[in-house]
Amino acid sequence: DAGVIQSPRHEVTEMGQEVTLRCKPISGHNSLFWYRQTMMRGLELLIYFNNNVPIDDSGMPEDRFSAKMPNASFSTLKIQPSEPRDSAVYFCASKIAEGSYEQYFGPGTRLTVT
Amino acid sequence: AQSVAQPEDQVNVAEGNPLTVKCTYSVSGNPYLFWYVQYPNRGLQFLLKYITGDNLVKGSYGFEAEFNKSQTSFHLKKPSALVSDSALYFCAVREYGGATNKLIFGTGTLLAVQP
């Protein structure tokens, strides 16, 4: 199993640009989570999906952030326009069906907005 | 509201000595508890979980955790630390209620094992 795949691994962009982060969950997992990790705020849940449907987006910081999951094997997190305070490591995680609660994390995307 | 607390930002231990990373929880109902480890520049890796059953749970890399209901604790332990165990450790609890799949993570404890 390849595990959760995220791309790109590193992204450097200028303030105001659009950024799209990508995630491929583990095959057969039906829940997908987007997290953000910073030194100041630690690990924050941004949004999660069950069966491709957004369930809880209360962690999304503001309207500049949006996430989609068009099918069971792909999700995107978009920031438009990006700001320096968005600089962080963004993780995607997936979880198998009901009855199992542990999540499996991808390697993360390190975003730097200058 | 559910929460976990990791009272120590950093734990230092000499290689070969036993280690303990502390976690306390606050939940409504029966807790589902987890430990994760994060190595530098990597994602979090699942170590072990407590759902029900034996209070002593064994996990990956020789780690174990003890669930203590009276003290609302779920401390991570290892009998003999390795330098390669140096990493950031997170305790987490499943958010209780409904069909939620959310895990609530602690702030993390940095474990430093000195050779």
Q: Residue B17: pLDDT band by 50, 70, 90 thresholds?
A: very high
Q: What are the C-alpha distances in Å from A28 to residues A31, A73, A103, B93?
A: 9, 9, 13, 23
pLDDT tens-place string over residues A8-63: 999 999 999 999 999 999 999 999 999 999 988 889 999 999 999 999 899 998 89
> Chain A partners of B95 at a C-beta cutoff of 8 Å?
none
Test mutation, B102, B104, B110, chain A, max A CBs within 10 A? B102
pLDDT of residue A79: 97
Mark yes or no for CB contact B105/A42 under 8 Å. Answer: yes
Closest residue in chain A to residue B90, using alpha carbons only: A43
Q: What is the token pair recorded at B47?
A: 């170590």
- Which residues of chain B have a Cβ shorter than 8 Å from any chain A Cβ? 32, 34, 36, 41-46, 49, 51, 90, 94, 99-103, 105, 107-108
In terms of C-beta density within 10 A (0-12 exposed, 13-18 middle, 19 or more buried), how is residue B54 classed? exposed
CA distance A93 to chain B (A): 9
> How many of the other CB atoms lie within 10 Å of CB of A18?
11
Compute the distance between CA of residue B77 and CA of residue B89 in angstroms, rounded to an integer: 11
Nearest to A42 by CA among B16, B55, B104, B31: B104
> How many of the other CB atoms lie within 10 Å of CB of B102?
22
Q: Where are the alpha helices (DSSP H) in B1-115?
A: none
Mark yes or no for CB contact A104/B46 under 8 Å. Answer: yes
Nearest to A103 by CA among A5, A32, A28: A32
Residue in A45, A91, A98 nearest the CB of B43 = A91
pLDDT of residue B71: 95
